[in-house]
Amino acid sequence: MVSLKGIHIYLRALEPEDLDFVYAIENNTLLWSLSDTQTPYSRFLIKQYLENAQQDIFEAKQLRLAICDYNNHTIGLIDVFDFDIKNKRAGIGILIQDKENRNQGYGKEALKILVDYCFQTLHLHQVYANISESNLASLKLFEGNGFNIIGLKKDWSFDGENYTNEYILQQINN
């Protein structure tokens, strides 16, 4: 079993106390393009989500974990989505909320922990990520963690004014 603890951060299941944190992220319109969100979420809906977040990944087909520092501050979220046990693959997404916590190595450490968990505990064959062509920080993060760009989806997302391209990155467990 892979530990969900690193040197500077650890990953943990979401708790009811994460309501304000998740609410702030889900309702930050500047982040909506990262998750294809188009409408705000109520506290009620997020509270219901947190109450059901303990659902098994094999049932829910997704897993969201909090990224925490060792002062027990929640600094971000990391997701496994589109969990496909038949084909042994899943998508991964990550968000570090505050800019002052970015470029500190937390995302790199969290991504490594989660990829190891996916390969060693969930026994996945591959993980992938979908990243906007303009999101250079995320591209650097994933490529620096062993992901390879395997394709470019042209005009994939529409932001209300323009279409943007999106890369698909993949890491295969050898």
In the chain the domains, ranked by start, together with CATH numbers, are: 9-128 (3.40.630.30)
pLDDT digits (tens, 9 = 90+) for 2-41: 689 999 999 999 888 888 888 887 776 666 556 566 667 7
- The reported pTM is 0.88
pLDDT score at 61 = 82
User: Contact 168/151 with Cβ under 8 angstroms?
Assistant: yes
The 10 Å Cβ neighbour count of residue 95 is 18
Contacts 24+ apart (CB under 8 A), 53-60: 53/13, 53/14, 54/13, 57/83, 57/122, 58/83, 58/85
User: Contact 87/23 with Cβ under 8 angstroms?
Assistant: no
pLDDT digits (tens, 9 = 90+) for 45-94: 777 777 777 777 877 788 999 999 999 999 999 999 999 999 999 999 99
User: Which of 54-58, 84-88, 101-105, 111-115 is least confident?
Assistant: 54-58
User: Contact 37/110 with Cβ under 8 angstroms?
Assistant: no
Q: Which residue has the tokens 């998508």?
A: 91
Helix (H, G, I), strand (E, B) or coil at 8: coil
